[in-house]
Structure formats: structure tokens, C-alpha cells
Amino acid sequence: LNYWAVVPAAGVGQRMGSACPKQYLSLLGKPILQHTLEKLLQTNVQGVVVSLAAEDNYWSQLPTLPRVWTAPGGTERSDSVRHALEKLLTFPEVKPNDWVLVHDAARPCVRVSDIQNLMQTVADYPIGGLLANPVRDTMKRADTQNCVTETVSRQQLWHALTPQMFRLQLLYDALTTAAIQGYPVTDESQAIELMGYSPVLVSSHPDNIKITHPDDLALAALFLQQQNN
Ligand code: C5P
């Protein structure tokens, strides 16, 4: 069986407040997206499909990377992932049961060893799984005025990260079903859960942050520098 990867990179990154989409911001002298792709290409994935926004003016400035193809982005992240899976399914060498790893463009600090650990651990599970982190803080639910209504137990509560690894055809069917039903899914696991399956959570190193706010850039630079030492 082969492993493939999909990188949704068609977001505008509104919360970043920058002129260019966040996946193209420079991090230690290289666009964030390039760091992310280089991490995936250090594993034994056969190839990577990147979903890009129609109005993307930055992709062409990246150096050409081997085994990387592009697909059109969509309105939501899940649409961008679906389009990339459609592209993969046109490749003659792709089998419906092949594994696909979906990884956010905005997570350049993922460790290659964590991706490899996910691949090894999930290979024994029929459905798939995802990198995740146990919640550390005490969790509160609040009303619309930000007043606490409940303390939520953090036991058995995890942060869902990426990559998320599933069987290609199953993931495509799950995302398509969620889209037809108008069910908003914010990660791949949620679509698989809606099919009645239970993906496995695999612990990630906590430096696998999603760059969302301007302050995250300095933190990401620190994490990458630490990894290179
Ligand atoms: O906005 P957020 O940080 O949740 O986006 C996660 C990832 O999904 C980013 O890499 C972003 O570029 C991508 N995305 C996408 N298509 C969209 C929205 C987000 O590919 N319509």
C-alpha cells in the first residue's frame, strides 16, 4: 500500500492580518508552506497534492519540489481537501485503500518523527487516526457574555492536530457525505466519526502548532531552530 499526502493551503488566514496569506509568510527565510512540504517529503509518502486558492499569486514563487501536484481550493477547508483527494483518485497508481495523510499548510513545525510514528501506529488500525495532544489546562464553557457556565473535565479531552491519516476512498466518501448533508466538519476525523467509526489518537510533540496569530511566527521559528540543533 502507498502513502499519499494532501496539504490544504487555500485559506486566506484572516486572523493573521497580513498582506499575503499566512502559508506564504517567511519563516527563517522560507515560506511556511515550503517548510511544511519539505517535512512531508522527508517521509515515505509517494507524493503530495496541495490545494490552492484560485487567486493564489504566491505558489509560483516557491521552488519546484519533486512529487508535488496542485488542486483547486474550495470555500471551506474540507472542500479544499476533497478537491485534492479527487485529484489523487485520477492517478493510475493510486488505490482506494491507500493511506492519505492530510496536513495543514500552517503547521510547519510538525516533527518528521511524529509523522513517521503516526504512519507506523495507524498502519495497524483499519480506519485511521490523527496526531493529537492531551488537554493541559482546565477547560471552561461560557455563555455569550464570556461568563462561565461549566467546568468541563479535561480527562480524555485532546487537541486534534494534523496529519490525520485515513484510507483514501473512505475519507473521500466521508467528506462528500458530510458536504451533501450540509454538515460542517473542521477536520477529517469528524467526517469519519459521522460515518460511525472511531479513529485512534496518536500523541504528538507539542511544538506542532498551527500558525494562526502573528505571535505564533516567533514561536514557530524557535521550534524549528530547536529541531535543527
Ligand atoms: O484557517 P485555518 O487555520 O483553520 O486553516 C487550516 C488550513 O486549511 C490552512 O492550511 C489553510 O490554508 C487551509 N484552508 C484551505 N481552504 C479553505 C480554508 C482553509 O485549504 N477554504
The arithmetic mean of pLDDT across residues 109-119, rounded, is 98
210 lines ligand 1 (CB under 6 A): yes
Predicted confidence at residue 15, as pLDDT, reads 81
Cis omega before residue 163 (within 30°)?
yes
Rg (CA), the chain: 17
Cell numbers 457525505: residue? 177
Structural domains of the chain ordered from first start: 3-228 (3.90.550.10)
- Give the number of other CB atoms < 10 A from CB of residue 103: 27
Helix, strand or coil, per DSSP, at residue 185: coil
The arithmetic mean of pLDDT across residues 34-43, rounded, is 98
Predicted confidence at residue 33, as pLDDT, reads 98
Whether the pLDDT of residue 205 is over 80: the answer is yes
164 lines ligand 1 (CB under 6 A): no
pLDDT band at 177 (very low <50, low <70, confident <90, very high): very high
Helix, strand or coil, per DSSP, at residue 209: coil
104 lines ligand 1 (CB under 6 A): yes
Which ligand 1 atom sits nearest the alpha carbon of residue 212? 3
83 lines ligand 1 (CB under 6 A): no
CB 164 within 8 A of CB 191: no
- Measure the CA angle with vertex 122, ends 117 and 128; round to 5°: 135
Q: How far is the CA of 193 from the centre of ligand 1 (A)?
A: 20
User: Who contacts 9 (Cβ-Cβ below 8 Å, separation ≥6)?
Assistant: 21, 23, 33, 50, 51, 52, 73, 80, 105
Counting every residue written for the chain, the total comes to 229
ipTM of the complex in this document: 0.97
